[in-house]
Structures are given as C-alpha cells and as structure tokens.
Amino acid sequence: MTDSRLAVIVLAAGAGTRMRSRTPKVLHPIAGVPMIGHVLQTARELGAAHVVAVLRHERDAVAAAVAEWAPEAVVADQDEMPGTGRAAEAGLAALPSDFDGDVVVVSGDVPLLDAGTLGELLTVHRATAAAATLLSAVVEDPTGYGRVVRDADGRLVRIVEQKDATDAERAVAEINSGTYVFAAAALREHLPRLAADNAQGERYLTDVVGLLAAAGSAIAAVPVAEPWRVEGVNDRVQLSRQAARLNALIVRRHQLNGVTIVDPATTWIDQNVAIGEDAVIWPNSRLAGATTVDRGASIGPDTTLVDCEVGEDAVVKRADATLALIGPRASVGPFAYLRPGTELGADGKIGTYVETKNAKIGVGSKVPHLSYVGDTTIGEHTNIGAGAITANYDDVAKHPTTIGSHVHSGSHTVFVAPVTVGDGAKTGAGAVVRKDVPPGALAMSIAPQRNIEGWVEKNRAGTDSARAAADAADRPAGTDD
C-alpha cells in the first residue's frame, strides 16, 4: 500500500572519508546488500509514494545501486555546498512542488534502521501534528554524534554536533540518530535559511530543528527502543559491528524457521538466502548472494556458497562454490572447488580435491578424487576415475569434452578436448584420450608394460634397493617377512 502523503529522502551524497576507501561508503555491503540498498528497502516497506536519493560523491556508481535496489526511487544531485541540510534541500526540490505531506529523512549509512521503527516514529509524528519529530537514542558512548539539547523543562531546543558542542553538551547521552519526520512545509521554510557558521563549515539539517524550536513550532524527539538499530556506519569498525548485528538477526530468523545453525558466530548468511527446514549449517560457513538450500541439506563445515542452489538432502563439506547447481542427495567435498556453470545431478558426487567449471555432471555420476573437469558434459551413472583431467585449453581456445552415460574412466585419464566418449565406454589407466571413443569401446593409449629384469642390480649396485631386490630373489616364492 502506498502512502501518498509520505516521502522519504535518503541522504547519500557525502564522501565518507572516514571509511578510507575507494568504494563510496553507502556501497559497502552488509549481508550482501549495499548499505544504501538496505535503506531503500526500508523506504519501500514503509510504503512511501516518493523516494529520493541525494547523491554527489561517486554519483554514477551510487545511482546504479539505487536503480538496482529501488528502481522507483528518484535521484537528486547535491551541488558543491556541503552539509546534510544542503542535501535535504536537493531532495526536497525533487519532490512534486505541491507535495505537502510528511518527509522522512534518513541517512544512507544507517543500514539497520527498520520499517517498524520508522513506522512508529511516523505514528507519533502524525498523532502529535508536530512540525518535526526526530528519532533519538540514549547510548553509552555518544562520541561523534549530534547531541539532543533540551531545556530545563525537557523540551527539545536544538541539536549540537560533536565538533561544535561544549563539554557540558558532550556529556549528553541522548544523540540524534539522523532520522527525522518533517512536515514538508517546515522544510521548505527553513532549509533555505541554514547558515554554515559551524566548525565544519557545512549547512546542517540538524539546525532546522533549532530554527523550528525558536519559532515555537511543535517538535519532539522520540528515543528509539533499540539504539543499535540507528547506529551509523562511518568507519570500518562500525561497518563490522553492524554487519555482525544484521547477521545475528538473519541467523536467528533461519533458526526459528527450522534450520539448525551449529555455530551462529561463524556462520554468515546474506539477506536474500533461502534455506529449507531441517537443513544443517556447520561452523565457518558463508551462504552468499542468491543462494538457496533445500530442506535437509547439510552445509559445511568450512564452506562458501555464492549464488548456488543446493538440492534436498545434499551434503556439501569444506567446499567453495559459485554459481553452481547441486542436485538432491548429491555429495560435494571435502575440499572441492565448484566454479560457475557447474551442475551436479541428483545423487551425483564431486569429491575430494576436485575442481569443476562449466561442467554438467548427470544423475548418479561421480567425479570422486583429484580431478579437473571443465567445459564438460557427463551423462548418467558414469564414474570418472581418480586423477582425471579434461584438457580443455590448447593455449588458444577452450574446447568441450562430452562423456556419455555408464562410462568408467581408468585412473589418471586425460581427455584432450574437443573429444567425445560414447555411452558404456571405458578408458585404461593413464590413457590420454585424443580421439573420440565409440560407445562400448575400451580406449588405451599407453604402450604395453615392459619389465627389464635385473635393471636395479646392474645400474644401482650397492644401494638399499639393490639389496632388497637381492633378498627378495633369495626367498622362496610365496614367503613373506
């Protein structure tokens, strides 16, 4: 449901210098979503008819993220004049000129603010018909935040920034979360009046609160019930803290949905991952991007899945996989590397020290040990012997390998692509398969074994090997040590 009297302005034009990063601050992800994506999703949940993102620093990169996470949002460009007040002014200018509803202002660097908290703020704002209602928070360490200054009667007087505050003001534990609801008319009236006569030489949005208070308008500060929700991310310490908090919420949601998560502290699950009931996630595992895990599957320990689909009751142990499909009851790992385009059929196996890429491995087929399988299609119920390599690259181009159903390859076979092995065929141990193998054929490429009797005694006389060989020759056949 859209609220036609509601607009949200997301402030995201700042440089975010404290991050010391090439990446714009609001594009740093937590739980797989850039911070500004979280904020835009919250705006959508709130049902605002208008969503405006104010940008300047790395404008095009941030605008691309806005288009991805909230195509309905409008981008407003802030000019060179710095400050949250100037940013809000640019945001306001992007709203319809006759909009006279409520304007929620949030920062792009407060990713854990949820629609529930914002909804409550809006409810208070509307019930009191205030000109401005701000979300405050009482915190243990207010360093860095703007402080809420109240008069002797507890009425909100103004907000003072850390850099402009007196020692007495710095001792105030009630901080400005940077989240507000304003009557559009109040913003229109006061934003153009902001001065930049402060320690940072910026036009502060927070000064609108002081101007409204001085004009005798009704304003209120509502302390948030869960202060950690409004913590801003200005540096990497805060980034990891908020990421851990969001992760804890996500882990808990899955646990309550019936997923066993053995060690929440070392399990990282992105926001949009789906996991079925009775799945088990073992320690040190990361489920990222658009990964889905079906019911009963077992993931980990020590596993990373990025944009993967794991079927029912599959087992994936100590694996690293990206853009891979793992079928029901299939088994992966331990120590497997599945690169994009891997599709493992139901009941199939990609085993230990196996790397796959663009490889379709059919139902019940197995690549159990020490292999590289790339640009390959394998049929059903085929077994690839230990140490197989598909040589898909000839220094110029990549070529495909096609292996049929019910094929058994001997250990250490090299498939030199392009090559096709027919259904039911076999390869001998160590075969280098350069030519197509017809169905049912046995491919051998190694010369028959030749034993040169007495070679060690002749060429390595006096060594332990020669002595061992001589001892063996002295023993009657069939005896053992």
Residue numbers annotated as active site = 369
For helices 35-46 and 59-69, the axis angle rounded to 10 degrees is 40
* Number of residues near Mg ion (by CB under 5 A): 3
Based on the shown chain and the rule CB under 6 A, indicate whether residue 206 belongs to the binding site for ligand UD1: yes
Based on the shown chain and the rule CB under 6 A, indicate whether residue 146 belongs to the binding site for ligand UD1: yes
Neighbours of 65 (CB within 10 A): 24
**Distance of closest approach, residue 3 Cβ to ligand UD1, in angstroms:** 23
Footprint of Mg ion on 223-252 (CB under 5 A): 232, 234
Residue 431 corresponds to which tokens in the numbers above?
A: 């075969």
Q: Which residue lies nearer to Mg ion by CB, 234 or 272? A: 234
**Distance of closest approach, residue 178 Cβ to Mg ion, in angstroms:** 6
Sketch the per residue contact string, 97 through 116, with Mg ion: x for CB under 5 A, - otherwise: ------------x-------
Based on the shown chain and the rule CB under 5 A, indicate whether residue 142 belongs to the binding site for Mg ion: no
Q: Which residue lies nearer to ligand UD1 by CB, 177 or 356? A: 177
Footprint of ligand UD1 on 45-64 (CB under 6 A): 54
- Would you say 8 and 41 are in contact if contact means Cβ atoms under 8 Å apart? no
**Distance of closest approach, residue 176 Cβ to Mg ion, in angstroms:** 10
The single residue among 42, 133, 177, 304 that binds ligand UD1, judged by CB under 6 A, is 177
**Distance of closest approach, residue 232 Cβ to ligand UD1, in angstroms:** 3
**Distance of closest approach, residue 86 Cβ to Mg ion, in angstroms:** 15
Based on the shown chain and the rule CB under 6 A, indicate whether residue 182 belongs to the binding site for ligand UD1: no
CA–CA distances in Å: residue 198 to residues 163, 178, 204: 8, 18, 9
Residue 35's nearest CA partner among 176, 250, 231, 227 is 231
**Distance of closest approach, residue 217 Cβ to ligand UD1, in angstroms:** 19
Based on the shown chain and the rule CB under 6 A, indicate whether residue 32 belongs to the binding site for ligand UD1: no
Of 199-207, 306-314, 321-329, 412-420, which part binds ligand UD1 (CB under 6 A)? Answer: 199-207
Based on the shown chain and the rule CB under 6 A, indicate whether residue 75 belongs to the binding site for ligand UD1: no
Sketch the per residue contact string, 234 through 273, with ligand UD1: x for CB under 6 A, - otherwise: x---------------------------------------
The dihedral of CA 21, 27, 30, 32: what is its sign? negative
Q: Which residue lies nearer to Mg ion by CB, 83 or 232? A: 232
The residue number whose beta carbon is nearest to ligand UD1 equals: 146
Based on the shown chain and the rule CB under 6 A, indicate whether residue 180 belongs to the binding site for ligand UD1: no
Based on the shown chain and the rule CB under 5 A, indicate whether residue 410 belongs to the binding site for Mg ion: no
Of 11-19, 126-134, 323-331, 347-355, which part binds ligand UD1 (CB under 6 A)? Answer: 11-19
Q: Which residue lies nearer to ligand UD1 by CB, 217 or 234? A: 234
- Summarize as ranges the residues that interact with Mg ion (CB under 5 A): 109, 232, 234
- Summarize as ranges the residues that interact with ligand UD1 (CB under 6 A): 11-14, 54, 78, 82-84, 86-87, 107-109, 145-146, 159, 161, 175-178, 204-206, 232, 234
